[in-house]
Structure 1
């Protein structure tokens, strides 16, 4: 099989990489490098392993059952109170959460855009409109409304490649000290690093991506013989995405700025190393990261809403356009007017904190049932690994809940 044929047979895995490498991931990885050097690279390795494992289960469930996770939840025969509680929790965590975080995706993309174009603010009465945010949000809206799944997949693959090249080239131009890089893959930590470790893993293991990939895998591969391609697809995509996250951390570790609050600040600190090209590379990376997440967050929310309520999940259907439109328009309004949806974010953080360990446990359980999965069920040898990964999701969930109540 030729190289081109191999990649032609792959599926929507790059969409998942595009989804988890957003402005939040770029900022967290950057600050991990700024504050702790190369010492937390091992945490990214763990996050990659956990993400590949959970996404593989969700893709396998989608192909085996012919349903995505939201449809499976709606059609389950579980006790009604538990069933409707789960459906409500999913809607709160993914729909409200993605609406709130969408404003951050759009704003993050605009940070990269500002490197190339200083977008003006428009005063409309009591409101100040951030035109850069409005432009990025509008582009995302048009692509989602007038594209199809195949078109979106190609656009996202292109942006992931662009983003990857920008960050990886930047990392190599910083000429990291590889002798000091390699020990960073050996797990060690202290109390100061713990929250950053949790954040690094938490930005990669994302609940809505489990729903998103099950749905896209089900649309891409209708027969169980597609499972081997699905595994290659998600493995290659997440691992490459992990390399991008590591490259961003290496860039952060090479920073010379005294004050750093975002990846754009790092680009200024890199200018003494290799000139103004740093600014433009980071700008491209941040713009691509923001735009890709601005597409995937509303798409995932739309698929979940339509799956939960049993509506048509075709991208051009009224139900999908309405669901996507609500999430994206809220993000567009919040970002364009400079509104911080604190209450929405707090509620979403709480719901996500509860949802992540529950949905991880649920898909591991579903994946282990022969009555549902047939020959595609989880192997006995893999269950111990899945349980260890579930413990990681439990810690992440508790951290999110603790953050809401100011405990952690």
Structure 2
């Protein structure tokens, strides 16, 4: 089949799934990690962030060939070519992670909104944001989810990049310190935490499902794969731009003054006396966009991942899919009512499961990409195998760090 020459219009129309993934990566946890890295160590973490975004690109890239070239989601590939049990285990990991971390996402959105509306409660905003996200998902219109996430990404770029520019960073120091390839503060565990918050087990599985929505029946798979990779590459760069802007802002304003912060909300509060109320408003707006995009992502992926994992009807309106979606909305709100956030034990369990699942997903993708019977002409070449080998080794490092963190937390509980 002859593939037509791609135009700028083709690339513009292909934008979408990458924005959803970028918006999913940049949640309250990423904003907090980037803020604390900048406040504690200045610009020195920028090179680690760039590496993280490169790893995130190559971690997700196999989904373009499986989802578009083979017209199957990665989860279906796991079930049919690896094991139904592995597919079910991966879904359970993602479900527990969604429940555990969704409360944090909702709290991030709520903290941002209480900055604009003092006196309101986190629970009120958590309920409002959850219902809003649920309505968007239940409309079952991929274009709406794509459009909302693109708007949120633009909002984050404007909010965080404008705040960083206003802070007056030294461009020379940004490059000399930011790309000195030194471990910030000599603390390798903190450095790995920035990598780990950018690469999570659900990325390749979720991305694959959104690609199936974007390209349900590709007539020009080679071109569509090329377009999808361009979209993904652009949005991983935007991920670097947004998160890097947060590091730069904290590194410029807070690090020289020795100001310590423990959350993204602290960052917004500290910016107000330094740059004026508008800086706090912009940062809080960016935090809200980061939080609500992560909320939307966690709610939207399960009616696409649960059915193929258990070989059930994939119609989003099927009873089991609606129930699963509603559970991802309701359980975090219940946790906020009872505990104020997810209980520590649940977060620890989710982190442990993520630590196990991340390299597992990477290895599974690697195996699938070498199956000629599945991928045909899109099977891995030598260069792709080398890259996936490097990414797998790095995800194993992330997993070891995550499990080490879990062990420390468990020990601290006794």
**Taking structure 1 as the reference length, what is the TM-score of the superposition?**
0.91
Q: 1:285 to 1:245 in 2, by over 3 A?
A: same
Q: CA deviation at 1:92?
A: 2.7
Q: Hey, what does 1:28 align to over in structure 2? A: 33
Matched position secondary structure for 2:156: helix
Asked if 1:207 corresponds to 2:201, the answer is yes
Asked if 1:134 corresponds to 2:127, the answer is yes
Please, which moves more after superposition, 194-203 or 27-36? Answer: 194-203
Q: CA deviation at 1:229?
A: 0.9
Partner Cα separation in structure 2 for residue 305 and residue 177 of structure 1: 48
Whether the 8 Å CA contact 2:17–2:211 is kept in 1: the answer is: yes
Matched position secondary structure for 1:378: coil
Q: Hey, what does 1:373 align to over in structure 2? A: 375
Asked if 1:61 corresponds to 2:66, the answer is yes
Asked if 1:284 corresponds to 2:285, the answer is yes
Partner Cα separation in structure 2 for residue 29 and residue 190 of structure 1: 12
The runs of 5 or more residues in structure 2 that have no matched partner are 1-5
Moved over 4 A (4+): 1-5
Q: CA deviation at 1:288?
A: 0.7
**Taking structure 2 as the reference length, what is the TM-score of the superposition?**
0.90
Q: 1:336 to 1:238 in 2, by over 3 A?
A: farther
Q: 1:190 to 1:171 in 2, by over 3 A?
A: closer
Q: Aligned ranges for residues 255-270 of structure 1 at < 5 Å?
A: 255-256=253-254, 258-270=259-271
Partner Cα separation in structure 2 for residue 175 and residue 166 of structure 1: 15
Q: Hey, what does 2:136 align to over in structure 1? A: 143
Q: Hey, what does 1:95 align to over in structure 2? A: 95
Q: Hey, what does 1:159 align to over in structure 2? A: 152
Q: CA deviation at 1:195?
A: 1.7
Give the number of aligned pairs: 396
Q: CA deviation at 1:316?
A: 3.6
Asked if 1:72 corresponds to 2:77, the answer is yes
Q: Hey, what does 2:246 align to over in structure 1? A: 248
Please, which moves more after superposition, 259-268 or 231-240? Answer: 259-268
Q: 1:84 to 1:382 in 2, by over 3 A?
A: closer
Partner Cα separation in structure 1 for residue 16 and residue 120 of structure 2: 39
Q: 1:119 to 1:133 in 2, by over 3 A?
A: farther
Partner Cα separation in structure 2 for residue 384 and residue 339 of structure 1: 41
Partner Cα separation in structure 2 for residue 210 and residue 219 of structure 1: 14
Asked if 1:104 corresponds to 2:109, the answer is no
Partner Cα separation in structure 2 for residue 148 and residue 200 of structure 1: 33
Q: 1:120 to 1:11 in 2, by over 3 A?
A: closer
Whether the 8 Å CA contact 1:12–1:233 is kept in 2: the answer is: yes
Please, which moves more after superposition, 373-382 or 2-11? Answer: 2-11
Q: Hey, what does 1:333 align to over in structure 2? A: 334
Partner Cα separation in structure 1 for residue 336 and residue 64 of structure 2: 33
Please, which moves more after superposition, 28-37 or 259-268? Answer: 259-268
The runs of 5 or more residues in structure 1 that have no matched partner are 122-128
Q: 1:284 to 1:190 in 2, by over 3 A?
A: closer
Q: Hey, what does 1:125 align to over in structure 2? A: none
Q: Hey, what does 1:237 align to over in structure 2? A: 235
Q: CA deviation at 1:342?
A: 2.3
Partner Cα separation in structure 2 for residue 339 and residue 234 of structure 1: 32
Q: Hey, what does 2:53 align to over in structure 1? A: 48
Which of 386, 389, 392 is matched with 2:391 structurally? 389
Q: Hey, what does 1:126 align to over in structure 2? A: none
Matched position secondary structure for 2:207: helix
Q: Hey, what does 1:172 align to over in structure 2? A: 165
